[in-house]
Structure 1
Amino acid sequence: MANATKGSCGPVTLFIEILNKYLYFFEKGNPQITISAIQGLIELIAAEMQGSNASSDPAAYAFLSSTMQYIQFQKQKGGAMGEKYEPIKV
């Protein structure tokens, strides 16, 4: 069963969904969601996208692209939220 998802992008999509939840709680000020946790998840997703067929899945790529655009938007927004997002490398 563990190999059932091998080659599919289910796990990558799940990681992107988790990243989005992390960002939500990060914005709400949850101290357990740190910059390094978010950065680590972004790096994991990037590695998974390169090492799997996920990059050929338009839905997973679009989902990730949308999430990265959101992070960029928050950085450019300025103010307290912009400062909060500034250390995140996308």
Structure 2
Amino acid sequence: MEQFACVVDLLARAGQLEDVVQFITSMPIKPDKSIWGDLLAACQAHQNIIIGNLAALFWLKSENPGNYVTLSNIYAKAGRWSDEVAVRKLMEST
């Protein structure tokens, strides 16, 4: 899994988020939380809401509350305040 995570991290840092999604979906093993987490963090850094939503759908169910904060920050940077508030409320309810 570590080698896959390295590829995801390299592509994500380069801003190649579409390539990251293609790579993740073609992996021969199921991606773990760290893979989706790297993608979500890259979406925040590169302000890509669409792919950030995709990553969040697969990853948000985990026990890490930082996931919710990252997604909330993506929405806030994009000025999507109602989505940001919805994520904060979801975070408080779990």
* TM-score grouping bracket, smaller chain normalisation: 0.3 to 0.5
Flag the structure with larger Rg: 1
Greater RCO (Cα-Cα under 8 Å, separation 6 or more): 1
TM-score w.r.t. structure 1 length?
Answer: 0.40
TM-score w.r.t. structure 2 length?
Answer: 0.39
